[in-house]
């Protein structure tokens, strides 16, 4: 049976990373990582963050500024509040799983993070 665009879009993968002694599982959509996303990753910091927001589905990063704590929102504006070291650890974990993001994307994001 041939693969369909809807099946590609529905594909999910996850990776669990350790940061500051705790674990965070990130669920993302590998089928959304395409040339458009790669071009954003090669752009400004804001474009890099938007690309992350477009590929992430959920994560165990909690916003405890509210009671009860809720998942920290995955959108371009709110992701600007998350530290770059944490985001880069998450992306490196993706690369180590071998499920998607090539090392090129890490380089692009590292460049964006330094701008």
**32-83 per-position pLDDT tens digit:** 888 888 787 777 878 888 888 888 899 999 999 999 999 999 998 998 899 8
The H or E element spanning position 24 is strand 22-28
The pTM assigned to this predicted structure is 0.74
Q: 87 with 61: CB under 8 angstroms? A: no
- Site of tokens 């993070």: 113
**18-32 per-position pLDDT tens digit:** 888 998 888 888 888
């Amino acid at each position: 049976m041939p693969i369909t665009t809807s099946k590609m879009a529905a594909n999910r993968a996850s990776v669990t990373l350790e940061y500051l002694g705790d674990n965070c599982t990130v669920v993302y959509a590998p089928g959304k990582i395409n040339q458009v996303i790669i071009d954003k990753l090669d752009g400004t910091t804001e474009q890099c963050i938007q690309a992350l927001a477009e590929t992430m589905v959920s994560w165990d990063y909690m916003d405890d500024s509210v009671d009860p704590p809720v998942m920290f929102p995955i959108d371009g504006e709110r992701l600007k509040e998350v530290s770059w070291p944490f985001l880069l650890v998450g992306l490196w974990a993706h690369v180590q799983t071998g499920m998607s993001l090539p090392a090129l994307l890490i380089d692009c994001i590292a460049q964006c993070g330094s701008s």
